[in-house]
């Protein structure tokens, strides 16, 4: 029976090892931006710390089992009566407290870092993108470019991105694992998430919070491109994409899955984001975005009038 159990355990170990060697790297441990790098470093620090603790505990266990096993003691051995050891108690209580304090300091420091503008991008103006969810799709509004996309996101690499998150349905969680951690999108407030991609590339994003029957396919694609390619894309959208109307947006909000689509204009014109902004580094961000959008509309109207008069 014991031999059979050994073979079963050996087979399980070999099988698990073989399967794991064929797995792709975990996306959260393959960061492509400063925020994700901070979080990946914290994860690895925790893993190595826990691994060290496990190894030490197992080594002590093996030492105690070998040194104090019954066969290693005289037959008439009787263990002494011990009231307690202050040194052992201090070690057993003190070390866990030190570990908790250390991880707490690391976590708090990292939280402040990922909630702020990404390191290295503090001196540039971030690109503001409103990311709103509905059952079961993502809408991305670019006030600066007067563009809206559905289920895909184009961003310039090497530039800070400031996402304004909210929902037209249940609470969702916006997550691009290789660029940074997740953050909730809610219907009654705007939450702010700061990310950046250090280099061009393609990344996967998704809703990480269960939100009903279509949750599994509530995903989107992210493409980081060079600033020149990004400007070319913006120009192409303005030349080819249809305008986003209120009726069309109401149609997009209907529950269900959609493919990718692109529009000129944003739904912020007729369906603005919630007024309460939580986590913004600039309380006037929403106001300035809307002013910039209104200026863009005014400029377009002036051009249209001039064209008509001519």
Predicted confidence (pLDDT) per residue in 242-283, tens digit: 999 999 999 999 999 889 999 999 999 999 999 877 655 544
Average pLDDT over the chain reads: 86
Taking only the tens place, the pLDDT of each residue in 118-147 is: 999 999 999 999 999 999 999 999 999 999
Domain boundaries defined on the chain: 29-74+85-115, 127-297
Neighbours of 226 (CB within 10 A): 13
The pLDDT value recorded for residue 289 is: 44
Taking only the tens place, the pLDDT of each residue in 72-114 is: 778 888 878 878 888 889 988 999 999 999 999 999 999 999 9
pLDDT at 30 over 60: yes
Alpha helices per DSSP H over the chain: 2-21, 34-67, 86-115, 227-240, 246-252, 285-309
CA dihedral 278, 279, 285, 290 (to 10 degrees): -40
Decide: helix, strand or coil at residue 133.
strand
pLDDT at 288 over 50: no
| CATH topology for the 127-297 domain | Immunoglobulin-like (2.60.40)
132 with 165: CB under 8 angstroms? yes
Model pTM?
Answer: 0.77
């Amino acid at each position: 029976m014991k031999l059979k159990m050994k073979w079963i355990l050996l087979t399980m170990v070999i099988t698990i090892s073989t399967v794991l060697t064929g797995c792709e790297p975990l996306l959260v441990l393959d960061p492509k931006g400063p925020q994700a790098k901070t979080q990946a470093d914290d994860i690895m620090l925790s893993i190595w710390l826990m691994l060290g603790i496990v190894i030490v505990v197992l080594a002590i266990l093996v030492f105690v089992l070998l040194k104090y096993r019954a066969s290693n003691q005289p037959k008439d051995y009787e263990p002494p009566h011990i009231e307690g050891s202050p040194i052992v108690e201090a070690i057993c209580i003190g070390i866990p407290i030190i570990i908790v304090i250390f991880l707490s300091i690391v976590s708090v420091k990292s939280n402040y870092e990922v909630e702020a503008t990404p390191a290295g991008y503090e001196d540039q103006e971030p690109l503001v993108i409103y990311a709103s969810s509905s059952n079961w799709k993502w809408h991305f509004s670019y006030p600066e470019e007067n563009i809206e996309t559905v289920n895909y996101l184009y961003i310039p690499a090497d530039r800070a991105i400031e996402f304004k998150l909210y929902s037209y349905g249940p609470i969702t969680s916006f997550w691009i694992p290789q660029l940074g951690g997740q953050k909730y999108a809610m219907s009654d407030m705007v939450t702010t998430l700061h990310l950046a991609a250090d280099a061009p590339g393609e990344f996967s994003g998704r809703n990480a919070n269960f939100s009903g029957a279509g949750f599994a396919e509530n995903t989107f694609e992210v493409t980081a491109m060079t600033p020149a390619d990004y400007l070319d894309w913006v120009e192409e959208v303005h030349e080819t994409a249809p305008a986003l109307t209120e009726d069309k947006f109401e149609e997009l909000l209907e529950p269900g899955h959609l493919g990718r689509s692109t529009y000129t204009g944003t739904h912020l014109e007729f369906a603005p984001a919630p007024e309460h902004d939580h986590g913004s580094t600039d309380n006037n961000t929403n106001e300035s975005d809307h002013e910039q959008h209104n200026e863009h509309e005014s400029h377009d109207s002036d051009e249209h009038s001039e064209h008509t008069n001519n």
